[in-house]
Amino acid sequence: PTASTRRPIRELPDELISQIAAGEVVERPASVVRELVDNALDAGAREITVRLSAGGVRLISVEDDGGGIPRDELTVALRRHATSKIASLNELETVGTMGFRGEALAAINAIADLSLLSRAAGAEHAWALDGRTGELRPVARAVGTTLEVRELFYATPARRKFLKTDATELAHCVEAVRRHALARPDVGFSIWHEGKLVEQWRAASGAELQLQRLGDVLGDEFVAQSVAVDRPGGAVRVVGRAGIPDAARSRADQQFFYVNGRFVRDKVLAHAVRSAYEDVLHGQRQPVYVLYLEIDPARVDVNVHPTKIEVRFRDGREVHQAVRHAIEDALAAPRAGDAVNVPA
Ligand code: ADP
Ligand code: MG
């Protein structure tokens, strides 16, 4: 309607509010995968299985062996702004879980057919909740949770039209799990598509678990052609691996940055990396790296965007310097054995 056909102000119906909000959280199947794997990790899962059909558009199922959800909390889990992860502003400022906004399940439920199966530790059996009807029924399942999401965007055909081919959507889903896998080498991940195993990264343990996982996910070549980054001290710690200049690629497809365990895209961080490689990389060559920044949660705001892929640092300069110097030091003085330390 135009200004001349103005209607009185009304609050939108609840369902429409949810659908509008969902647009911010769920862009494509990979967004759902990311949110569900976040939840599984927050629940303490050691093993996470992702099953997809038609690139995730027809089905996304994420199964975990985490702590589960008690029966009487299943229904509220689907409500907007319902969370078990924070209860006060104070907790928001020091939040250590991946989630805390209580939006994902509500958003997904607004734009797809969702069913939630869960058995809490100590419960006699599992319960299945149908997101559409609200019906609860007893089912058999070990302790843990399975989220099943069918027919994504069935009610919002406009969104559905923006989706790419199944192969492309699948690739985005795999990338979403890959980002988690690089942050959590202690957790096993597998991804199935149309009943076929696409990727499997087994839980690693021991001193070299991080290196082991990097090799499994990015290939032994990544490990062989990168040097250890480890800059302790100060308010900001930077660890991980930075590729040697020779390992640079034409595409920026092996660049992973984590802040307190969360994959992020950030201008300050990207610029710091670029400056560190300035003198050794030329043209459009893209460095490869997996870097983990550890910082006092009070010095970084993760509540910038519903997807939490952006962060805001209290002191951007401090972070920029820490990252830049960490990489420069690593590239300047590779320790003996670093470049040949390929996991068996
Ligand atoms: P958030 O993760 O921000 O709390 P979500 O909408 O993603 O919000 O999830 C709502 C709540 O449902 C969570 O706070 C958690 O208590 C519960 N939940 C969701 N997924 C799982 C899971 N896989 N295992 C255990 N609990 C879960
Ligand atoms: Mg969540």
Same domain, 176 and 237: no
Same domain, 36 and 135: yes
Percent of the chain predicted with pLDDT > 90: 83
Give the residue ranges of DSSP H helices in the chain.
14-25, 29-42, 74-77, 89-93, 104-111, 157-161, 166-183, 209-218, 220-224, 267-277, 316-332
Same domain, 23 and 167: yes
Mean pLDDT of 221-244: 93
Mean pLDDT of 194-199: 98
**Under 8 Å between Cβ of 20 and 12:** yes
Do the domain assignments include residue 142?
yes
Q: Which pLDDT does position 334 carry in this prediction?
A: 53
Alpha carbons 90 and 113: distance in angstroms, whole number: 35
Same domain, 194 and 231: no
Q: What percentage of the chain's residues is helix, strand, coil (to nearest 5)?
A: 35, 25, 40
Same domain, 191 and 47: yes
User: Which residue out of 37, 38, 83 has the highest number of ligand 1 atoms within 8 Å of its CB and is therefore the one to mutate?
Assistant: 83
Indicate whether 151 pLDDT > 90: yes
Q: Which pLDDT does position 281 carry in this prediction?
A: 93
Indicate whether 100 pLDDT > 70: yes
Whether ligand 1 lies within 6 angstroms of the CB of 104 is answered as yes
Do the domain assignments include residue 168?
yes
Same domain, 41 and 100: yes
Mean pLDDT of 164-183: 98
77 C-alpha to center of ligand 1: Å? 6
User: Which residue out of 18, 42, 114 has the highest number of ligand 1 atoms within 8 Å of its CB and is therefore the one to mutate?
Assistant: 42
**Domain end residue (candidates: 167, 201, 235):** 201
Q: Which pLDDT does position 308 carry in this prediction?
A: 85
CATH number of the domain at 311, please: 3.30.230.10
Do the domain assignments include residue 42?
yes
Same domain, 246 and 194: no
Whether ligand 1 lies within 6 angstroms of the CB of 75 is answered as no
Q: Give the residue, by CA position, lying nearest to ligand 1 atom 1.
A: 102
Q: Which amino acid is at 61?
A: S
Cβ atoms within 10 A of the Cβ of 73, count? 13
Q: Give the residue, by CA position, lying nearest to ligand 1 atom 17.
A: 77
Do the domain assignments include residue 208?
no
Q: Give the residue, by CA position, lying nearest to ligand 1 atom 16.
A: 84
Do the domain assignments include residue 341?
no
Name residue 293's beta-bridge partners: 238, 259
Same domain, 60 and 165: yes
117 C-alpha to center of ligand 1: Å? 12
Alpha carbons 307 and 322: distance in angstroms, whole number: 26
Alpha carbons 259 and 310: distance in angstroms, whole number: 10
Q: How many domains does the chain have?
A: 2
Do the domain assignments include residue 339?
no
Q: Which pLDDT does position 142 carry in this prediction?
A: 97
Whether ligand 1 lies within 6 angstroms of the CB of 19 is answered as no
CATH number of the domain at 184, please: 3.30.565.10
| Order of all β-strands in the sheet with 289-295 | 226-231, 236-243, 289-295, 255-259, 262-263
* 108-124 CB burial, b ≥16 within 10 A, e <16: bbbbbbbbbbbbbeeee
Question: Side-chain half-sphere of 85: how many Cα atoms within 13 Å?
Answer: 24
Do the domain assignments include residue 9?
no
Q: Which pLDDT does position 94 carry in this prediction?
A: 86
Q: Give the residue, by CA position, lying nearest to ligand 1 atom 21.
A: 39
225 C-alpha to center of ligand 2: Å? 35
User: How confident is residue 1, by pLDDT bands cut at 50, 70 and 90?
Assistant: low
| Minimum-distance ligand 1 atom for the alpha carbon of 101 | 3
Do the domain assignments include residue 2?
no
Same domain, 234 and 324: yes
pTM for the structure as a whole = 0.94
Same domain, 188 and 301: no
Residue 304 Rama label (left phi>0; alpha psi -120 to 50; beta): alpha
Query: To which residue do tokens 């001349």 refer?
Result: 4
Alpha carbons 292 and 257: distance in angstroms, whole number: 6
Same domain, 319 and 177: no
Q: What is the ipTM of this complex?
A: 0.99
Instruction: Show the domain range for 18.
Output: 14-201
**Domain end residue (candidates: 153, 171, 201):** 201
